[in-house]
Amino acid sequence: MPTINPLTLPELLRRIANHLKQAEIVPCLLVCKIWYETLLPVIWRDVESIGVEMKHFSRGPSPENLQRHCDLVHTLSILDSQPGRYAVTYPNLQALTLASRVLGMDDITPEGNPTHMIELNPSLNSLDLRRLNGYLLADFWRAVSGLQDLKSLHVRDAIMHDMTDLDEFWNSCLNLECLRFTRTWTARIHGALDTLALPTFPRLRTLELDRVNRVDNEQQLELIRRSPQLEELVWRIMPKGIILDLFADDITQGLWPKLERLSLGYNNPDAESSRVIDGVRCLTKLDMSGTGFGSLCFQALRRHFDTLTELYIRECSSATSDMLREILCSCPHLEDFQAGVIIAKDVIEDRPWVCLSLKSLEVCFSVDKQEQDLQVKIFERLSKLYQLERLSVGGYASWRDKNVALDLRLGKGLGLLGNLREMRRVNVQYTTQLLDENDLRWMIANWKNLEEIRGSLNQGSGIYYKLMKILRQHGIQTDESRQFQFQNTPFQDLT
């Protein structure tokens, strides 16, 4: 019976490719015919095209190459008006991002018209529009309305003052499951909503309203009320008057029975916000970063401890160290937790942490300079978080804290984290770290999946450059490399 080489199995090759970067896959195309035929679709599945000539930034594939491989493209991001890329039909395109670096572009040509591109690609189910002022006219939204499979729409940094344009926009949203509307300026919503044929958005599951300018809070609440099937709501406003009380009344009355993921801001008071939290039947996600989250919100949150998987309470001055400790000791299903400062003494109290499913943890461990022996106790707690992928011990909270942050050196207890095999990202921004080469090489040797370290590992000029060199050699991203994040994938060589 002939032996099958597993590395010639397309199914296995595709699984391996999912763990490689595009630049690592490209040389594999030259190995043999079956590798080429299997991996070429992986290369072209997600394409990012940048039209501005900038050093360190890739322009992406040429229009000719895109045309040749258009049937392989499933996700496409186009930054800046690029006529050759707009005038192409992508038969299998599912997700499209269109963005412009220039506000208020007026010179729309037929080949560079986003409306034409929407009409050419009816298979879209996700559309992300950024800074496309001058393009978002009634004709464009009528084209979007014709996308029968469109489920998700994100509009950001847009200006739509004309009521006709806005009416067509709302008509294009009627069958969406996800609508995100951020940093926008529009005409008043009320009149536009009244012209709709349907009184509600019956399929909407996710709604984000973040800094929607010139639309008052009451009108935004009316839009939320017209989405009774919501499962996730992101609503960021500057609360005025009784708007949060009205919202809490609606929640208590069961207007959104499926709502379980909630994000509120900005500066929402503790008392009113607590009524909202208490009114939700079952919370799995709560984001109240930058709000007045305090004792009343925390008391209301206790009822949801058994169901919470995501909790974000960064920049909440009334969220105390005792609260953070209780959360770590009481939320067994928590996977992502972002908060402020937790005092080292509170970390090591007798109750064990039960949040053993944590994948991302962002807190500032505050250690008194006279109690540095507590550092190892913190590492002992962290060592039980076997699924942890992201650890942040820095951020603005640590910058303001007068005590010492967690010290990521072997001599302080770092070696206890050798069993955190899933670690991918570490953040030490705004902390003082004194790592040497041995500390960093230990991280790289034990955290095989490490992709990024943010913040300085050592401010000393001599050791700093040595550490940066090691990070570059191992392909680990840093603050310096993040600003040049667009990879220069040699699409031009893929014929």
Stretch 456-463: mean pLDDT: 89
More confident residue, 475 or 33: 475
Confidence of residue 81 (pLDDT cuts 50, 70, 90): low
Given a cut of 80, whether residue 109 has pLDDT beyond it is: no
Neighbour count for residue 183 (Cβ, 10 Å):
14
pLDDT of residue 195: 47
pLDDT one-digit tens code per residue, 248-264: 999 999 999 999 999 99
pLDDT-derived band of residue 29, with 50, 70 and 90 as boundaries?
A: confident
- Is the pLDDT at 104 greater than 80, yes or no? no
More confident residue, 493 or 220: 220
- What whole-number distance in Å separates Cα of residue 453 and Cα of residue 382? 18
Calculate what percentage of the chain has a pLDDT beyond 90.
Answer: 56
Question: Is the pLDDT reported for residue 56 higher than 50?
Answer: no
Residue 379 scores a pLDDT above 80: yes
pLDDT at 90: 93
pLDDT at 399: 56
- Quick one: average pLDDT of 268-294? 96
40 against 336, higher pLDDT: 336
3-state secondary structure the chain: CCCCCHHHCHHHHHHHHCCCCHHHHHHHHHCCHHHHHHHHHHHHHEEEEECCCCCCCCCCCCHHHHHHCHHHCCEEEEECCCHHHHCCCCCCCCEEEEECCCCCCCCCCHHHCHHHHHHHCCCCCEEEEECCCCCCCHHHHHHHHCCCCCCEEEEECCEECCHHHHHHHHHHCCCCCEEEEEEEEECCHHHHHHCCCCCCCCCCCEEEEEEEECCCHHHHHHHHHCCCCCCEEEEECCCCCCHHHHHHHHHHCCCCCCCCEEEEECCCCHHHHHHHHHHCCCCCEEECCCCCCCHHHHHHHHHHCCCCCEEECCCCCCCCHHHHHHHHHHCCCCCEEEEEEEEHHHHCCCCCCCCCCCCEEEEEEEECCCCHHHHHHHHHHHCCCCCCCEEECCCHHHHHCCCECCCCCHHHCHHHHHHCCCCCEEECCCCCCECCHHHHHHHHHHCCCCCEEECCCECCHHHHHHHHHHHHHCCCECHHHHCCCCCCCCHHHCC
**pLDDT at residue 52 tops 70:** no
Please check the confidence at residue 223 and state whether its pLDDT lies above 50: yes
pLDDT at 46 over 60: yes
Return the pLDDT at 197: 46
53 pLDDT band, cuts 50/70/90, is: very low
**b/e map 36-72, b = 16+ CB within 10 Å:** eebbbbbbbeebbbbbeeeeebbbbbebebbeebbeb
**Are 51 and 80 contacting, i.e. CB atoms less than 8 angstroms apart?**
yes
Residue 480: is its pLDDT beyond 80? Answer: no
What is the pLDDT of the chain when averaged over all its residues? 86
Query: What's the rounded mean pLDDT across residues 330-336?
Result: 98
pLDDT digits (tens, 9 = 90+) for 389-432: 999 998 666 556 556 889 999 999 999 999 999 999 999 998 99
**Structure tokens that stand for 412 in this block:** 């302080």
Determine which of 106-120, 339-353, 387-401, 407-421 has the lowest per-residue pLDDT on average. Answer: 106-120
Q: Are 292 and 315 in contact (CB under 8 A)?
A: no
> Given a cut of 70, is residue 113 above it in pLDDT?
yes
Judge whether residue 146 has pLDDT over 50: yes
Q: What is the predicted pLDDT for the residue at 59?
A: 63
Which range among 186-195, 219-228, 381-390 shows the weakest confidence by mean pLDDT? 186-195
pLDDT at 204: 97
Angle between helices 163-172 and 138-145 (to 10 degrees): 10
356, 385 contact by CB (below 8 A): yes
Q: In this predicted structure, what is the pLDDT of residue 83?
A: 59
- pLDDT higher than 50, residue 486: no
More confident: 461 or 211: 211
Contact 74, 92 (CB under 8 A): yes
| The pLDDT of residue 435 | 96
pLDDT-derived band at 99, boundaries 50, 70, 90: confident
**Average confidence (pLDDT) over 350-356:** 91
Q: Look at residue 357 in the predicted model and tell me its pLDDT.
A: 97
Please write the tens of the pLDDT for every residue from 364-376: 999 988 888 899 9
Digit-coded pLDDT (tens) for 57-77: 456 787 788 888 899 999 999
Q: Are 265 and 291 in contact (CB under 8 A)?
A: yes
With a cut of 80, say whether residue 182 has pLDDT above it.
Answer: yes
Residue pair 76/95 in contact by the 8 Å Cβ criterion:
yes
Q: What is the pLDDT of residue 23?
A: 74
Give tens-digit pLDDT for 283-304: 999 999 999 999 999 999 999 9
**Helix 243-252 to helix 217-225 angle, to the nearest 10 degrees?**
10
